[in-house]
Amino acid sequence: MIKLRPKQFLVFMLLGLLSVALFFIDVAFGSVKIPFQEFYSTIISHDPASVWFTTLFEFRFPKAWVAVFTGAALAVSGLQMQTLFKNPLAGPYILGISSGSSLGVALLVLGFPVIFGMQVPFLISQWAIVFASWIGAAAILLLIMVVSIRIKDIMTILVFGIMFGSAATALVSVMQYYGSDASVKAFVIWTLGSLGGVTNHQLSVFIPSILAGLGIALVLPKSLNVMLLGENYARSMGLHVNFIRTLIFISTSLLAGSVTAFCGPIGFIGIAVPHIARMLFRTSDHFILVPASILIGVNLMILSDIISQLPGNGMVLPINSITALLGIPVVIWIIIRNQRLTSLF
Amino acid sequence: MDSMIPKSVIETKGLTIGYAKRNTVKSLCAEINVEAKQGELIALIGSNGIGKSTLIKTLCLIHPALGGQIRIDSKPASTFTRNDAAKSISLVSTELFRSNNLKVGDLVGLGRYPHGNWFAPLNGQDQVIIQTALSDVGMTEFAHRPINELSDGEYQRVMIARAMAQDTPIVFLDEPTAFLDLSNKFIIFALLWRLTREQSKTVIFSTHDINIAMQFADVFWVMTQKGLQVGAPEDLLMDGTIEKLFAGSDVYFDAKSNQFRNRKSLNQSICLQGDGLEFQLTKLALERLGFFMDCNKPTNVSVKITKTVQKTCWELTKNGITYKCNSISELQQALR
């Protein structure tokens, strides 16, 4: 049984209510203005003949759902990275895992035509792209894992992550240079991906992938708690360190890989959200931190989406810039406030 | 009589420890044949880098042995699953974990991991065990404090409570008193001693605090490259095993005073007369200055301690001249 203090219960309730409110604000106030009366009647009647039906059900709702799952996925993968590497500054973006995903997709989209002499068939392309993205994420994760066995220093690992990420990005640029016009165009379109780029059809790939990753994360809290103490302690308490690591590994690859596959690299949600969760709930218990990170991630991502469509007139700001502007101050504040970074857990 | 003999809880035969990397095998010490009995407090001593930590990890079954056998509770360790091992042996390692958010009670609760489902939260019975473990180490009132607010000594007691919550007959501790101040070293050793007596646990700890360990441990395991020498601390002192640990260094262990001493050349003889505590303390001070006590040899330096009700006086006779000193400090200055 998980015991919540009254204050923690209250914060959970507030976050839950806030996310529902933000979700509807996100749907109601898009980049194109919909009069409230018509917004309300279209949602209630669900009438395909309505003027706003397509805008709402083909674009706004899918986009809002993508924001929900993206936020949850990035937050949980960030939390898992931080505990796995015992590194409070870890996250899927900063460790280069998102760049690994890009590399995976580039290899597929740019490399496939070279090898097979044809474009990736559209029917298999959605799953193929996600799959390539997972593999790319997993490859970078594996590299960092190998390095972290030998090097324990937090900062060195981060530098390696940044290096791996940059190397992956550089490789992608080289491949773009040599790619055929058609495949480069396909790849560039992919890299421009945003929350709004995901169609209803793609959601049927995106959501199950994220749910699978979150599902694994939801059985891990007890093990993650034990992992905090360090490897020797974890083993001595009967934890199968390699098994748990593999599960974290699969979960993170699914989460960060899927997000990158559909929305492009989105930074700073993964690193900032777990810290906000720790501060709000004053705990290091993953039974609380995992759901808390999910809720905070969802809220922050929807908020970013709302901000991104503020300019109106059909303009949408790049989502990656918004999350960076929201996340970076949190990260800086965390670093300044805590001289001893290792105490952040 | 048979039932009076405590049972063996951990036993090794021809155990070799070290690291195997690709094709190279680095063995740390000769074959180890040793046995630990129920309720024993065992101190593992040996110089830095000799492999005490590796031995502890190997016996905890979290590091593979290079060869030989380990038997836990008379059963071969190879038949133990990781979870079985965690129910028999707990470890207090040197890994430090500091956190602003982790509460003492929750940290102790982590010890319940092997006893429950690997994904289910703790239940009411676990909570009772956590409370008992905290009271075992005298930290009950700290249950809701974050571990970052603990002193080093308190932290170590909490880590021992975590091992208690794991509820294992065997507890290993890797240098539990390193970084602690003197009084905390005593508190920790006394606590471990109490656990062996009151709960019949077998507690094995590595340490460099030989003089303190001597006052609590039933058995010393002295680790050298030739293997493990086992015996009562006093036996190992008598046969010179402990002496050998410090061979070649300026430090030696003085069995009579149960203290480490600096091996200095005591090149001048002095005749000291007096009795009681003053005599002992004056002797210590004179030895520090390089004198050895000898009243049989003719010497030109002598000290006589005279005590009256009001004060103690040290009469120093040096080359026929007598000085009166009112403290050891004055005596020191007069001798220099």
Residues B123 and B228 in one domain: yes
The tokens of B238 are what? 């008598």
Per-residue pLDDT, A3? 76
d(CA B289, CA B332): 8
B152 and B32 within one domain: yes
- A192 confidence band (pLDDT: 50, 70, 90): low
Q: Which of A192-196, B267-271, B287-291 has the lowest mean pLDDT?
A: A192-196
Contacts of B106 in chain A (CB under 8 A): 225, 283-285
B115 plus B12 within the same structural domain: yes
Residue B144 sits in the same domain as residue B23: yes
Is pLDDT above 80 for A200? no
| pLDDT tens-digit readout, B189-210 | 999 999 999 999 999 999 999 9
| Contact list, A236 vs chain B (CB under 8 Å) | 60, 62, 86, 89-91, 93
CA dist B198 and B129 (Å) reads 16
> In this structure, are B27 and B167 located in the same domain?
yes
Task: Give the length of chain A.
Answer: 345
CA B310 to chain centre: 42
Residue B257 lies in a domain: no
3-class secondary structure, B265: coil
**Residue (of A222, A213, A231, A223) closest to A97 by Cα position:** A213
Residue A296 pLDDT class (50, 70, 90 cuts): very high
pLDDT in tens, A141-165: 899 888 887 877 777 888 888 898 8
CATH 2.60.40.10 matches A6-22+72-344? no
Interface contact flag, A238 B122, Cβ < 8 Å: no
| Number of domains, chain B | 2
Asked whether residue B299 is domain-assigned, the answer is yes
> Among B29, B53, B18, which Cα is nearest to B178's?
B53
Complex-level ipTM beyond the 0.90 threshold: no
pLDDT tens sequence across B142-168: 999 999 999 999 999 999 999 999 999
Structural domain including B39 reads: 2-250
Judged by CB atoms closer than 8 Å, whether chains meet at A233 and B85 is answered as no
Q: Which two tokens stand for residue A239?
A: 């934890």
Mean pLDDT along residues B3-9: 79
Count CB pairs under 8 A between chains A and B.
98
Residues B196, B300 share a domain: no
Rounded distance between C-alpha atoms, residue B109 and residue A143, angstroms: 33
Contact list in A for residue B111 (CB cut-off 8 A) is 237
pLDDT of residue A345: 76
Picking from B62, B113, B121, the nearest residue to A287 by CB comes out as B121
* pLDDT higher than 60, residue A234: yes
Amino acid at B37: K
Count of Cβ atoms closer than 10 Å to residue B221 Cβ: 22
Pairing of strands B268-273, B301-307: parallel
Window A:279-298, CB contacts with B under 8 Å: 282-285, 287
User: Does some domain include residue B57?
Assistant: yes
Tokens of A217: 């994360």
The CATH number linked to B120 is 3.40.50.300
Within the 164-223 window of chain B, which residues sit less than 8 Å (CB to CB) from chain A?
A: 166
Q: What is the four-CA torsion angle of B256, B258, B264, B270, rounded to 10 degrees?
A: -40
Name, of A97-101, B102-106, B237-241, the range with top average pLDDT: B102-106
Beta-strand pair B24-27/B32-37: unpaired
Beta carbons of B86 and A238 less than 8 Å apart: yes
Same domain membership, residue B272 and residue B180: no
DSSP B152: H
Tell me what pLDDT residue B1 has: 46
Window 40-69 of B: residues touching A by CB (8 A cutoff) are 57, 60, 62
Do B51 and B179 sit in the same domain of this protein? yes
